[in-house]
Amino acid sequence: MQALPNSLCTLWNLQILNLDDCVRLEALPKKLTSLRNLRHLCLWGCKSLREMPSKMRELNGLKTLSMFVVGHKRGNQLEELECLNISGRLQIRHLERVKDHMDAKKAKIAEKNNLRNLRLSWERNALSKLVEEVDERVLEALEPHPNLERLYIQGFSGRYLPRWMENSTQRKIVEINITDCENIRHFPKLGELPHLENLFLTNMGVEYIIEEEEVGSGHPGLSKEQQSSKEAFPNLECLSIKRCSSFVFPSISSLEKLKYLGCRSSDLALLSEHDIPSKLSIEVEENLTCFPIEALKKFSKLRSLTIENAKEISLTREGLEALKELISLWPESCQTMRCLPERMLRHLTALEDLTIITCPEILELPEDIKHLHNLKFLQLHWIFPRSRACLKPFSTSLLYTLQIFPNLESLPDQPPSLFTRCYELPKGCIDF
């Protein structure tokens, strides 16, 4: 077990304890609450932490407590947050241990007006029992103050999200991230949140995020008639919908401010060509078939494209025409893709950044890579090109960032002009 020494608790005047990203930390000292002058306890990213020390409420001078792990016994449950006027960000983990929503109510999250970032996570395993109604009541009881700006929900087993997520209370929300909540069937009116800029949905069973008003049966309708969709999400800049197999992409026409879109290739066809922003980055998740370039034919000013989980890439002339202004291309996690199409690279005359991540079957870079005369960044992460000639086209190119991870066993001869240029430019680097 990775734990801090108990001698830490003799530092009576300690005010700041920063343990951010200590991923192997499992336990804090039991007498941590004796540090009455402690003001900032930073635990962000301590994903192995199993529970909190007993009676955290005694540290009533805390201004920062970035993580709270719900325990099994009285003394390290949510009521310990009641008297803590913490600010900034807070992650509450193991909410599946909360058996009564009144225990969640005692945390008084709604009174913490300086809290800006709230993460709520349930961490059940395959044998855990899902308790939908309890989760719904617990999440309802954890209503934050209207000053909250970022909300993250993971592992929630309920079917309905709470009404406090709507426009009437959370008017300052700029980001919502909901992942691994496969039972959710109904969304509150997220489209009416006036300042929402980023919406991330991952691994969910929901069908629509814009729905009609409740129908006569008293239950929310999952109708395809998406009421007031033109006015929905007026300030949305980033929309990502991944691993949501039942999801029906909304016909949102107000996309003028959208800068990033993550979705399936089939969803792209549902977007109106006239409403697509001129500078847009797209990340496409393609789990079942090859990625069809023709899906991009309406995106004539596409600047950045990430292709995720594709087995191969199919080409059409119309699709390639859409890539003329492409600056960044990232094939990522394409586990069975064997190569990038030759003709594709030949058309990417404006490409400046080619990053290939976790594509282990790609053993050679196409010969047409020599046509990328504007390429400045070449990054190969977890691919293993077997030819030491694969980098030769760049010996006299404009390339000034070359990153290969992990290290290749056999590198090409050092091209002097490339190395010189790498060290001359401020942002240049070469990492073998």
Q: pLDDT tens across 231-244, in order?
A: 678 888 998 988 88
Chain Cα centroid distance, residue 224? 27
On the question of pLDDT at 383 being above 90, the answer is no
Q: Which of 250, 298, 293, 239 is nearest to 273 (CA)?
A: 298
On the question of pLDDT at 80 being above 60, the answer is yes
Asked if the 259-388 domain carries CATH number 3.80.10.10, the reply is yes
Q: pTM (2 decimals)?
A: 0.81
Helices (H), 157-295: 265-268
Of residues 67 and 366, more confidently modeled: 67
Structure tokens at 1: 């077990």
**Residue 386's pLDDT band (boundaries 50, 70, 90)?**
low
Q: Please give the mean pLDDT across all residues of the chain.
A: 80
Q: What is the pLDDT of residue 360?
A: 81
For the ranges 96-100, 165-169, 177-181, the lowest mean pLDDT is seen at: 165-169
Beta partners for residue 115, in sequence order? 88
What 8-state DSSP symbol labels residue 28?
Answer: -
> What does the alpha-carbon distance between residue 68 and residue 120 come to, in Å, rounded to a whole number?
10
Q: What is the pLDDT of residue 417?
A: 41
**Residue 97's pLDDT band (boundaries 50, 70, 90)?**
very high
Q: What is the pLDDT of residue 412?
A: 47
Neighbour-count burial of 12, counting CB atoms closer than 10 A to its CB (0-12 exposed, 13-18 middle, 19+ buried): exposed
Q: What is the pLDDT of residue 68?
A: 97
Within a 10 A sphere around the Cβ of 21, how many other Cβ atoms?
12
Chain Cα centroid distance, residue 389? 36
* Total residue length of the chain: 432
Positive/negative CA dihedral, 50, 56, 59, 63? positive
Q: What is the pLDDT of residue 173?
A: 93
For the ranges 67-81, 172-186, 363-377, 383-397, the lowest mean pLDDT is seen at: 383-397
Q: What is the pLDDT of residue 373?
A: 83
pLDDT tens digit sequence for 319-354: 777 788 889 999 888 888 888 887 788 888 889 998
**Residue 254's pLDDT band (boundaries 50, 70, 90)?**
low
Helix/strand/coil percentages in the chain, nearest 5: 20, 20, 60
pLDDT tens digit sequence for 111-159: 999 999 999 999 987 656 668 889 999 999 999 999 999 999 999 999 8
**Residue 424's pLDDT band (boundaries 50, 70, 90)?**
very low
Neighbour-count burial of 214, counting CB atoms closer than 10 A to its CB (0-12 exposed, 13-18 middle, 19+ buried): exposed
